[in-house]
Amino acid sequence: MSTVSRRNILAATAGLAAVEVLGRPYIANAQAKTATIWVGQGFVPQEDAALKETVANYEKASGNKIEYSIMPFMALYQKSISALTSGDVPDLIFSDAPTVILPVNAFNDRLADMTDVVETQKGKFTETALLSASFYNGKLKKRSYYMAPVKQASAPFHVWGDLVTKAGMSLADVPNRWDERWEWFKKVQEPLRAQGGRKVYALGLQITTVGPNDGNNLFYHFLIAYGGGNIVSKDGKLNTADPKVKEAAIRAVEQMTRAYKEGFVPPEALSWNDADDNNAYHEKLFVMSFDGTLSPELAVITKRPDDYQNNMRILGMPTGLDGKPVPAQVGAGGGFCPKAGKNTAVAKDFMKFFITPEVMNANLKGGLGRWCPSIPAVVKNDPWWTDPKLDPHRSIYVQTTVLGPTIPNYIGFNPAIGQVNAEQLWGKCHANVLKNNMTPQQAVETAFKRAETIFNKFTFEG
Amino acid sequence: MSITQQVLPIEQAARIVPRTRRAWGGGAQRGDFYWAIAFALPYVGVLLAFVVYPICYGFWLGSSPALYEELFDDPTYLTTVVNTLIYVVIGVNLKMIIAFLLSGFFYRKSWWTKYLLVIFILPWAMPALPAFLSIHWLLMGEWGFLNALLHQLFGFEGPHYLTERWSGVLSNISAYNWKNTPFWTLIFLAGRMAIPTDLYEAAAVDGAQRFQMLRHITMPLMAQLYLVSTLLATVFALGDFNSVFFVTGGGPAMSTEVMATLGIRYAFVLGDPPLGVAAVLTTLPLLLPLVLLLMRLLRKQEMQL
Amino acid sequence: MSRLATSYLSGRSNYRLIEFCVEAACVVLGVWLAIWALIPVYNMALIAFSEHGAVFSGQTWPSQPSLHAFAVVWGQDFWYLERFWHQFGNSFFIGITTMILTLLIGTMTSFTIGRLKLRHGWMLSNAALMTYVIPASFLAIPFYRIMNIYGLSNNPWSVIAAMVTFASPYSIFIFQHYGKSIPMELDESARIDGATPLQIYVLIYLPLMAPALVAVGTYSLLLAWNEYLYQFLLLSSRDNMTVSVALAQFLNSDEAPWNYMMATAIIYALPPIAIYYASRRYMASGLTMGGVKG
């Protein structure tokens, strides 16, 4: 392990030790019970190690026992779905990236209500985190909290600073407006290619229909930047009839497909799977991309420290068409409990422990800060998160994800958007324009029609 | 002495002792009956413990008619049906024909054939995930291995295989066949080895050419195995998820999805297992006739010699 | 006489020419087959031997060939591979047990249907076929449930049971078909000599089925060896997992050291190939192995 990560672990352990005392008030009862939890595997080993520490500390503080299984997130989804369908459920499942499991099962009243857990820290959460954790229960016909949020992540801009310099431009000149920024980066391509070598591209737009989230994530941010962020509103309604939303969507599709047609995007981006854009970015096949979390940087933190420290760069959110900063769409992660679990009380107790600011901080720091805390006070009180001298990327990322304007992703508003995402309707828009000779308007209208059909499946009252 | 030469006098002997033959040919004797049951018990146990419930549960999951309405509403569904048909009708048959011909090729006794067979088996032995991922990367446009090789050897830029629907479908079929043809070749090879060599020798003495031997000896004797294998290969191909998922990912724009990947998407991405099961159950109209045909074929006890 | 001799000689050299052409064509075909089979494997090796596991390098030969990835796998030096050798052992256990049980159950069932002529034996074959009506990936959920009911969750035997369930029907069909080429008269003569069905099964039936045993054995071994959906679904603790599940971890993040993954895959593919190669002699033996002594 490098000194950087070891230092982080030491800091985390010190934090966790201090937490032991503070965690005590949340012990449920004196009887030692066991809860089973399923956790998604982290992207770096430190995340898993941090979880083990948190669990160990809880066990010491409460006398209860936690049996945890760590598995890759794909396996976690499949196993969770199998469990929720068949009824043999664990007591707690940790959900990572935006997923459909949560809202659909909340809608079908298969999850335990987590309001009592969230209440313990309610005033401290960001509004976005709270919105991400609340879901509509179709049986009880009301919204409630079904997840205890622990962390959130957003998508920053990733840039190879050295390639920008090589093209004779300077990052200090990057425009702070959405469209201008994308246009500016297009200018890097020609000078770089003129210097010979392999074909390099300016933009790594993931206009693919493969892979769970990248394509949708990208589209929504363009939509938000152009003022169409209200495509799904808090009450679960789909607002495709709103001309503002429609215009924004058409503009988004038009901009992205134009960049592709102009040759600034690698042609295979249409078929990229979840890992391909990161692979390509690491091999410097394009200069700039817009992708979730700091995982591209953290993946090379030990292998290529020079790249991490100097060459890779992060940019925060620019301003949108309306002149205001584009809010980052944030994905929240946390724990939820299936209703049929046998030891839900212990699981909830564990979550109450986890969301105390000190535990949350220690755990996420142990995970190298790939996820940010859902409680702003945590980052404000700990300079580890905000001091630009400690790390070149983190402070910008924290600003985007926690301190700056954020909106939740739409999953909490209506489960139907999960199906819209899974059907990759927006990726299909791009493909329709690029392959099937549709105009952006026609492509968007087709997608909107399908979205409306999907939304009609879920009826909300209140 | 070859087997057939040993068999003939026994046959003659059997005709002289009709009582033994009748008792044998007409079903098991009483003592044998218990043996027969004993030998059958293990698989009956497997069936009862592990097959009955899952299959019934699966059918129950996919039983609501509303699911099928929803299915036909999905615009991707029709494309998926077409792709699945291509996969099954063209992909499987191509694979079986090639496997049959290759089994003849490997039947030859050249010194290098057995080493070639081991190399040929390699795709089948590789774990699916890394193998298909490797195929995905080597077909990846400009930087993938295939185009890099073509560029180095012949100096031209290869096409983008994965960004067009039909080259994508072809890539998926090729990947799936790459992985599975060795298996069927092996099965057919075993089948060829079941044919007594005397038959070929006798035919050669009669002056038959190689092609005639193929037509009149090999093909009739392998016919039933070929049909059974084709039907089973169809069943397996309908359920295959890995090749499409990793090679094209169903793209571009979900134009290369097959029923298995669509069903998995419904079941495990959308969290709607009933819809996923319904998707694969819609392949039953294609599958059931094949299964029934298979059952009839297997009932036939005779093998023409 | 001289005319006969000339035509005989020219006939012979024609024959040699045809033989030569056929042989040459076979060599060409062989080379193409090898290339076809090896290209994706070569790509895997290319990635495995490269320094950083670059997959979009556009190279046809690793620029800095290194055995680093293999050393990492061997030494369990990466967090996904921490329990590699233990999981390798699990793979062996599950794989070999599946193979043995499938061969046993498959041959016993085809023996009783085809040789002992169990009354209504065809019902058993048909029932076996029902296993394939719904593809295996969609039966995962009910399998998950019944294994919990049987108390076999997180137990390797649940995976073995699932694998045997899926491999058996196919094995039964192959054995049944192959068994038809063995004359019934062999059984009859053995019965006349006083052999019990068990003796016929062990001393006549099994040896004569050798090529089919090799093919089906390899098939069931590979089925269990490379299966990952059922394995991670039915098993929870890391120590019970197999290498194919460990391989799936590499897809967890959107960035992984692909050279380690490919090195793992290559190492993992070797045992089944070795087992196949060791047993392929039995494929050729076929009907020439005598069971008539029984």
Which value does ipTM take for this structure? Answer: 0.83
Residue B176's contacts (CB-CB under 8 Å, 6 or more residues apart) are B87, B91, B237, B240, B243
pLDDT score of A198: 66
Residues forming CATH 3.40.190.10 domain(s) in chain A: 28-153+331-405, 157-329+410-455
Please, what sign has the CA dihedral across residues B148, B152, B153, B156?
positive
On the question of pLDDT at B73 being above 60, the answer is: yes
For C75-95, letters b (16+ CB in 10 Å) and e give: eeebebbebbebbbebbebbb
In angstroms, the separation between the Cα of residue C146 and the nearest Cα of chain A is 9
pLDDT score of B186: 86
| Chains with ≥3 CB–CB distances under 8 Å to A | B, C
pLDDT score of A448: 93
What confidence category does residue B300 fall into, taking pLDDT thresholds of 50, 70 and 90?
low
A427 touches chain B (CB under 8 A): yes
Residue of chain A whose alpha carbon sits nearest to that of C236: A69
Pairwise CB contact (< 8 Å): A283 & C141: no
Residue A408's contacts (CB-CB under 8 Å, 6 or more residues apart) are A128, A129, A131, A132, A329, A330, A332
Q: Note the pLDDT tens digit of each residue in A149-170.
A: 999 988 899 999 888 888 888 8
Q: How many helices (H) and strands (E) does chain A have?
A: 22, 13
Pairwise CB contact (< 8 Å): B14 & C188: yes
Residue of chain B whose alpha carbon sits nearest to that of C249: B129
What residues of chain A, 255 to 314, have a C-beta less than 8 Å from chain B?
A: 266-268, 270-271, 273, 276, 283, 285
Pairwise CB contact (< 8 Å): A299 & C255: yes
Residue B17's contacts (CB-CB under 8 Å, 6 or more residues apart) are none
Cβ-Cβ contacts under 8 Å, A279 against chain C: 54-56, 255, 258
In 3-state terms chain A splits into helix, strand, coil percentages (rounded to 5) of 50, 15, 35
Pairwise CB contact (< 8 Å): B134 & C43: yes
- Give me the total of CB pairs closer than 8 Å, taking one residue from chain B and one from chain C: 308
B74 touches chain A (CB under 8 A): yes
Among B142, B251, B270, whose Cβ lies nearest the Cβ of A422?
Answer: B270
pLDDT score of C284: 57
φ, ψ of residue A67 to 5 degrees: the values are -105, 115
Q: Note the pLDDT tens digit of each residue in B226-250.
A: 888 888 898 888 888 888 988 888 7
Pairwise CB contact (< 8 Å): A74 & C145: no
pLDDT score of B29: 56
**How many residues in chain A?**
462
Pairwise CB contact (< 8 Å): C56 & B126: no
Closest to A61 (Cα-Cα) out of A309, A456, A349: A349
Closest to C37 (Cα-Cα) out of B160, B126, B113: B126
The CATH architecture of the domain made up of C79-286 is Orthogonal Bundle (1.10)
A432 touches chain B (CB under 8 A): yes
Q: What would you measure as the largest C-alpha separation in chain B, in angstroms?
A: 78
Please, what sign has the CA dihedral across residues C108, C110, C113, C117?
negative
Please, what sign has the CA dihedral across residues A445, A451, A456, A461?
negative
Tens of pLDDT along chain A (462 residues)?
344 444 444 444 444 444 444 444 444 444 568 889 999 888 888 888 889 999 999 999 888 899 988 888 888 888 888 888 888 899 999 877 657 888 888 888 999 999 999 998 888 888 888 888 889 888 888 889 999 999 998 889 999 988 888 888 888 888 999 999 999 999 988 888 888 766 789 898 888 888 778 888 899 999 999 988 889 988 888 998 999 999 999 999 999 999 999 989 988 888 888 888 888 888 888 899 888 888 888 878 877 888 888 888 888 889 888 888 899 988 888 899 999 988 899 999 999 999 999 999 988 888 888 889 989 998 888 888 888 888 888 888 998 888 888 988 888 888 888 888 888 899 888 988 988 889 999 999 999 999 998 898 887 764
pLDDT score of A23: 41
Residue C50's SS3 state is coil
Pairwise CB contact (< 8 Å): A267 & B252: no
The fold of A157-329+410-455 is D-Maltodextrin-Binding Protein; domain 2 (3.40.190)
Cβ-Cβ contacts under 8 Å, A209 against chain B: 249-254
pLDDT score of A31: 59
On the question of pLDDT at B27 being above 60, the answer is: no
pLDDT less than 70: residues of chain C:
1-12, 53, 254, 282-294
Average pLDDT, chain B: 80
Cis amide leading into B252 (omega within 30): yes
C72 touches chain B (CB under 8 A): no
DSSP string, A342-368: S-HHHHHHHHHHHTSHHHHHHHHHHTT
Instruction: Give residue limits of the domains in chain C.
Output: 2-48, 79-286
For the sheet containing A286-290, what is the strand order?
A201-203, A286-290, A157-160, A312-315
Residue of chain A whose alpha carbon sits nearest to that of C229: A75
CATH 3.40.50.10280 fits A28-153+331-405, yes or no: no
- Give me the total of CB pairs closer than 8 Å, taking one residue from chain A and one from chain B: 94
Pairwise CB contact (< 8 Å): C46 & B145: yes
Q: Let me know: does A419 contact B275? Beta carbons within 8 Å.
A: no
Residue of chain A whose alpha carbon sits nearest to that of B261: A210
What confidence category does residue B6 fall into, taking pLDDT thresholds of 50, 70 and 90?
very low
Pairwise CB contact (< 8 Å): C40 & B123: yes
Q: Note the pLDDT tens digit of each residue in C127-148.
A: 888 888 888 888 888 888 888 8
